[in-house]
Structure 1
Amino acid sequence: MKAVPRREDMDKTYCWAMEDLYKTEKDWEADFQKLTQMEAQITAYRNRLAGSGELLLEALRKQDEMSKLLEQVYVYASQKSHEDMGNAHYQELSSKATVLMMKLEAAGSYFVPELLAVPEEKIEEFLRETKGLQEYRHYLEDIMRQKKHVLSEEMEELLAQAQEVAQGPSDIFTMFNNADLKFGVIRNEKGEEMELTHGRFITFMESQDRRVRKEAFDKMYQAYDGFRNTLAAAYRANVKQEIFFAKARHYSSSLEMALDGSNIPAAVYDRLIETVHENLPLLHRYVRLRKRLLGVEELHMYDLYVPMISEVDMKIPYEEAKEIVASGLKPLGDDYLAVLEEGYHGGWIDVYENQGKRSGAYSWGAYGTHPYVLLNYQDNLNNVFTLAHEMGHALHSWYSDETQPYIYAGYKIFVAEVASTCNESLLIHYLLETTGDPKKRAYLVNYFLEQFRGTLYRQTMFAEFEKITHQKEAEGEVLTPETLCGIYYELNKKYFGADIVVDEAIAMEWARIPHFYTSFYVYQYATGFSAAIAISRKILAGDQEVLKGYRQFLRSGSSLYPIELLKLAGVDMTAKEPVEEALKLFGSLLDEMEEIAG
C-alpha cells in the first residue's frame, strides 16, 4: 500500500502558493499586530456617523480597510492550518485569527443600527454632496431598504441578547446529532462488523449489496426514531424562534424574513415548488427506470443511492483532467480560458492529499490576491468534475475581485453555486459529445441524472417541508412528532410516485437534516442549479447576448441584488422558465438513459 506523503515531501508544483498572500510569516504577524490596533480606530466613529458625509465616507473606508486586512490574515492562517490539521503551530495561528475576527466584528457592530437611525433624506444629501460616497450607494440603500424591520436601539439590544438564546435549538441538535447519537454496528459486504456513522451512511447506501443498504437504512432511522419526541421538540423550538423574530421585526412570515436579506421575493420560493410539482412525472419516470435498471421486484427508499450504472474505470490523471476541463469550458471564450490557465499554473491549486490535509474541496481566498482552490485529487471522473466546479467558484471570485471595489467583491449564497454548476454542465455536455464508448456515456448520463434528483428535486422537497411546517406553527398547530413525520412521509410519496415502496422509516428523515436549523436555506441549491443549467444551455445554443451577460454577471460581485444579477445572464428567477429549462434537460437525459436500458 502506498503511504500518504507528509506535507514537507509534497512536490511544490502541485501545492498552492501561500507566499502570494504573505511572503513570510513575519509579514502575517505584522498585519495581525496592525489589526489589533484597529479596534480603537473603528470605535472612534461611534455616535458620529450622522455628523457629515465626509465623516461617513471616512468611517466606511476605514471599515473596508479593516475587513480587507482581516480577511487576508484569517484566510492565510486558516489555509495554512488546512495543509496539515495536525500542525499545532498553524492551528494556533488560526485560533488567534478567529478570536481577533470576533473581537473586531463586535467592535463594529454599532455601525448598521447607527446608520439606520440617520434620516434617509440626510443620507441622500450626503450621497449628493460628498465626492466618493456614491461608490457606497447600493450598500447604503440596501441597509435603508430593511429599515422598517429595524427596531429602537433598546429593542435591538434586547433582540441581540435573545438571539443568543434562540441559537439553543440549533446548538442542542448539533451536539445531539454529532456527539451523542450513536447508530450501532452493521455488517459490510464481507460480513465484517463496522460502525454506522454519518460519514459512512451514504457509502453504505451506495453498496451493491442490498442487505448492506437495507441494514444501514433501518439502523439509521431506528436511531432517530428512538428520540422522535426530543427531535420534534428541538425542531419546533427552532421554528418558534424564527416566527418570534419575524413578528418582532414586522415581517409577514419567517419565510419573508429569511429571503429579505438578499432581497428575494417570496414568489421565487413558491414558483420553484410549483414548477417542480408540474414536473414530478419526470421524477416518477426516473424511479421506474431505476427499478428496471436495478432489476428489483420492488424498489425501496434504500435503493435510491446505489449507482444505476456500475462504476466505469476511467483513470484520469490530474494533468489530463486540466485539459479535459479546459476543452469543456471553451464555449466561455478565450479570455475565460486564459484565466483558467493562469489558475492552473499560477499557484492557485493545492492538488493532492497529504498527511493531515483537510478533506474535501473548496475555493477561497482574500481580496487583492488570486483565489485558492483546495483539492484532494484522485484519478477519477468525479474529481474531474470537482476541478471544474471549484475553478468555477475561483474564476467567479477572480472576475469579481478584478472589477469590483472591496465592498461589492463578495457574492450572496443565492448566486454562489451558479458559476460552479454552469462549468459542470458545460463539461458534461462536452464529454457526452466526445465519448463514443456506450458504457462511459451511460455512466455520464447517470451522473447528471443523479445531480438533478439530489439537487433540484430533493432540495425542493426539503424547501416544501419547511414551508408547510413553518406555516402550521404560525397558524397555531402543534408540530408533534406524528405531524412532522406525516408531512414528510406524504411529501416522499408525492415526489417519488407509485413505483417505489415508500418505507415508513423514511418519515424520520427530516430529523437528520442539519440545514433545517438554518431556515429556508436549502431552496437556493435548487434555484442556483436551475439558473446554471438554463445559462449553460443558452451558451451552448450559441446565444452571444447571454454569454456577454454571463461574463458581466461574473464581474458584478454583489453590486446588484441576486435577482438582477441573474437577469444580466438572461435568467429571470421570478419566472418559471429557468426551472422548466433545467427540467427539460433532465427529461432528455431520461430519454437517453431509457434508450440505453433498451
Structure 2
Amino acid sequence: MNQLPKRSETDAAHHWRLEDLYASQADWDQEYEKARKQVAEVAAFEGKLADAASINRCFELEDEVSLLAERLYVYANMHHHEDMAEGKYQSLAEKTKRLSVEVNEALSFITPEILAFSEEDLKKLIADPSLKPTYKRTLEEMLRQKPHVLSKNEESLLAQVGNVSQAPSTIFGMLNNADLKFPKVKNDKGEEVELTHGRYIQFLESRNPEVRREAFKAVYDTYGKLRNTLAATLNANVNKNIFYANARSYPSALEMSLFGDNIPQSVYDNLISTIHEHLPLMHRYMALRKKLLKLDELHMYDLFTPLVDDFDMDVTYDQAKKTVYDSLAPLGNDYRTVLQGGFEDGWIDVYENEGKRSGAYSWGAFGTHPYVLLNHKDNLNSMFTLTHEMGHAMHSYYSDGNNEYRDAQYPIFLAEVASTLNEALLMDYLLNKSTDPKEKMYLLTYYADQFRTTVFRQTMFAEFEKIVHARTEAGESLTPADLCEIYYGLNTKYYGDGMVVDKDIEMEWARIPHFYTSFYVYKYATGFSAATSFAKQILEEGQPAVDRYLGFLKSGGSDYPINILKKAGVDMSTPEPIAQAMSVFEDLIEQMEKLTADRA
C-alpha cells in the first residue's frame, strides 16, 4: 500500500484557496481582535432593548460579531482539516471554539429580554415600520416560540438539566463504540477476523452467503446479550423527549421536534402513509433482487450483496468534473458557469494527504464563496460525492448571494435537496448515455438501493420512533420484547412475504444511533423525495421548472422550509412529491426487469 503524501508534497492546483477568506494570518489576527472587542460592545445593550431603534442596532451588532466569529472559525478549522496533526491550526481551531462560546454567551440575553415583552407589545414592535424587514421575521419567530418559552428561572433550571438529558445518548455512544465487542467471524478466505462496525457492511457484501449469514448473526447475537440495557437506554431517551415536550407545553414529543422548522405533523404522517401505499414496489424490488442473486430464499443479510459481478467504473477527477458539468445541463448555462468557476477557482480541496480529515463536506462563511473538501478516488462513488457536495456549495452560493446574513442559512430540512437533485441528474445522464447492459444494471442497482435505504428504510425508522413515543405517551411501558416485536413487525411489513425476515433483525433498533437524535431520520426521506420530484419536473418541464428550482436555491432560510419548497413547486404538505419519487423508483425497477429478461 502506497504511503500518503504529506500536504507539502501535493499539487497546490488541487488545494482549496483559503486566502479568499483571509489573505494572511495577520488579517485573521486583526479580525479576531475586532471580534473580541465587539463581544464586549454587545453587553451594552443588555436591559436596553426597549424599541425598534435599539433592536435594530443590537441585531446589527449581533449579525456582525456572529459573522466574524463564523469566518474565523471556518478558516481555522478548514486549515486544521488539511492536516489534523499540524499544531498551529489545532491551536487556532481551539481558539475560535472558545471565541464562539464567548459570542454565544454574550448574545444569550437577547431572546429572553425580548420575550419578556407582553404579546401585545411584541406585536407592536413587529408592526413598527422602522424595524428592518429581516429583523421583523426574527421577532415574528420569537412570538411564535413564546408559548413554549418558560420563565427565566424555569429556563435556567432546564438549562442545568441539559447535561443530564444527554445521558442516554452518551451512554449509548459509549456502549456502542467503546464497550461493545463483536466475535471473530470467517471472511471470504476462510480466515478468522474480528467483526467491527466498519467491517460489517463489507461482510454483507460478500458473495458467500455463509459469510454474510455468520456476520449478521454475530452482530445481532451481540446486541441481544445487552437487550435489557439497550432497551433501558432507549426508553430513557424517549422519556427525556416527553419530559421536554410536557415542560414546554407541546402536545407530543413529535410535534415538539417539528415545531422548530414549523413543519405540520401531516408532513410526517403523509410520508409514512404514502410509503405504505407504495410498499408493493419495495416487495417487487426484493423479488427482483432474489432472482438476480439466484437464491431460493432472500434473507435480511442478502440486502447489500452486489447484483452485478466484478464491475468497476474508473473515473478520474477531470473526467468526473466534465461528466458532472455535462449532467447538470438541464439547470441552464448560468448555473453551470458558476459551477465551472467553482471547479477552477479554488473552491475544492481534491485529494487525500497524510493527516487530512476523512470524508467529504461543503462549508464556508457568508461573504465568500463556498468550499468543498474531498478525498477523491477514481471511481463512481467519488464522482457522485463531487456532484453531491457541489450541490450543497451551489445552494450556499445562491443563498448567500440573494439574502442578508440572517436569512442566508437554509435549515436542515432543506439541506439535502440540492445535493440529492444533482445526484439524480447525474444518474439520469449516465443511464441515458450507457450502452453496456452490465454498466446499466450496475447504475440502476446503485440508484434503486438509494431508494431502499434513504426512503423506505428511513421511513421505517421514522415510523418506529413515532410508535414508541406514542405508546410511552399513552402510559405504556416498553420492554425489550415490546421493542423487538414492534421493530420486527415493521420489517415484515416493509420487506414483504417474498423474503425471509430473519428473527435476528428484531434487535436492529438497538444499533441505530439516529434514534438518539429523535425524529430526525424522516428528513432523509423527505429531502430525497423533494429532490427526486424537482429532478422529474426539471427533466419533463424544462425552463419553468428550472426557474422555480433556482428560486428555491436563492431563498436560503428567508421563510419556513415548507413554504420555500411550495413556492418552488414541491408541496411536501401533500403526498404528491413522495408519489413522484415512487414513480421514478418504479421506472428503475421496470428497466432492471427488462434488462434481466433480455439477459435470460
TM-score after normalising by structure 2: 0.97
Q: 2:492 aligns to what?
A: 493
State the identity as a percent.
52
Which amino acid in structure 1 is aligned with residue 30 of structure 2?
A
Query: Secondary structure at the residue paired with 1:306?
Result: coil
Q: How does 1:173-212 map to 2 (within 5 A)?
A: 173-212=172-211
User: Alignment RMSD, CA only?
Assistant: 1.4
Per the TM alignment, residue 80 of structure 1 is displaced from its structure 2 partner at its CA by 1.0
Distance (Å, rounded) in 2 between the aligned partners of 1:281 and 1:378: 37
Q: Which residue of 2 aligns with 1:290?
A: 289
- Residues matched between the structures, number: 597
Q: Could you tell me which residue of structure 2 aligns to residue 432 of structure 1?
A: 431
Alignment partners' CA distance in 1, 2:216 and 2:475: 34
Q: Distance in 2 between matches of 1:24 and 1:136?
A: 34
How far apart are 1:311 and its partner, in Å?
A: 4.5
For the pair 1:17 / 2:14, whether they are aligned, the reply is: no
Q: State the match for 2:89 in structure 1.
A: 90
Shift of 1:70: 0.8
Corresponding position of 2:475: 476
Kindly provide the amino acid, as one letter, of the partner of residue 69 in structure 2.
L
In the TM superposition, what are the counterparts of 1:314-463 in structure 2 within 5 Å?
314-463=313-462
Q: Distance in 1 between the 2:596 and 2:558 partners?
A: 48
Structure 2 residue 597 is matched with structure 1 residue 593: no
Q: CA deviation at 1:40?
A: 2.1
> Could you give the per-residue CA deviations for residues 113-158 of structure 1, whole angstroms, max 9, x where no partner exists?
2221123443443344453522222222112111111111121111
Amino acid at match of 2:2: K
Alpha-carbon offset, residue 225 of structure 1: 1.1
Distance 1:147 1:129, change over 3 A: closer
Mapped partners of 1:81, 1:195: distance in 2: 33
Q: Distance in 2 between matches of 1:399 and 1:13?
A: 25
Amino acid at match of 1:108: L
- 1:514 corresponds to: 513
C-alpha contact 1:311 1:443 (8 A) present in aligned 2: no
> Counterpart of 1:259?
258
Correspondence for 1:7: 7
Q: Helix, strand or coil: the match of 1:541? A: helix
Q: How far apart in 2 are the matches of 1:545 and 1:153?
A: 50
2:521 aligned with 1:537? no
C-alpha contact (below 8 Å) 2:126/2:140 kept by paired residues: no
Q: CA separation in 1, counterparts of 2:437 and 2:294?
A: 20
**Residues 91-240 of structure 1: matches in 2 within 5 Å?**
91-129=90-128, 131=130, 133-240=132-239
Q: What letter corresponds to residue 16 of structure 1 in structure 2?
A: W
- Deviations 1:252-274 (CA, angstroms, capped at 9, x unpaired): 10000000000000010001000
Q: Distance in 2 between matches of 1:34 and 1:194?
A: 55
Change (3 A) 1:11 1:176: same
Separation (CA, whole Å) in 1 of partners of 2:477 and 2:162: 23
Provide the residue aligned with 2:45 in structure 1. 45
Distance 1:135 1:245 in 2: 30
Which has the higher mean CA deviation after the structures are superposed, 38-47 or 363-372? Answer: 38-47
- Residues 220, 508 of structure 2: 8 Å contact kept: yes
Once residues 499 and 581 of structure 1 are traced to their aligned partners in structure 2, the CA distance between those partners, rounded to angstroms, is 25
* Structure 2 residue identity aligned to 1:4: L
Partner of 1:502: 501
Residue matched to 2:80: 81
Which sits farther off after the overlay, 536-545 or 280-289? Answer: 536-545
Q: Is the 8 A contact 2:548 2:568 kept in 1?
A: yes
| Distance in 2 (alpha carbons) for counterparts of 1:449 and 1:378 | 23
Give the counterpart letter for 1:77 in structure 2. A
Whole-Å separation in 2 of the counterparts to 1:544 and 1:17: 34
**SS of 2:541's equivalent?**
coil
Q: Is the 8 A contact 1:310 1:443 kept in 2?
A: no
Query: More deviation in 276-285 or 158-167?
Result: 158-167
* Contact 1:547–1:569 (CA under 8 A) maintained in structure 2: no
Instruction: Letter of the 1:327 partner, please give it.
Output: D
Cα gap change, 1:43 to 1:187, in 2 (>3 Å): farther
What stretches of structure 2 of length at least 5 have no aligned partner?
none
The alignment partner of 2:77 has SS state of helix
TM value normalised by structure 1:
0.98
What's the CA shift string for 1:344-366, capped at 9, x where partnerless?
Answer: 00100011111111111110111
CA deviation vs aligned residue, 1:235-255 (integer Å, no higher than 9, x gap) = 001100100110111111000
The 3-state SS of whatever aligns with 1:473 is helix
Deviations 1:546-580 (A, max 9, x none): 22111111001100100011012201001010000
Question: What are the Cα deviations for residues 40-73 of structure 1, in whole angstroms up to 9, with x where unaligned?
Answer: 2223222222x22111111111111111011111
Structure 2 contact 122–143 (Cα < 8 Å) conserved: no
Secondary structure of the structure 2 residue equivalent to 1:104: helix
User: Does the C-alpha gap of structure 1 residues 217 and 178 become closer, same or farther in structure 2, counting only changes over 3 Å?
Assistant: same
- Equivalent in the alignment of 1:249: 248
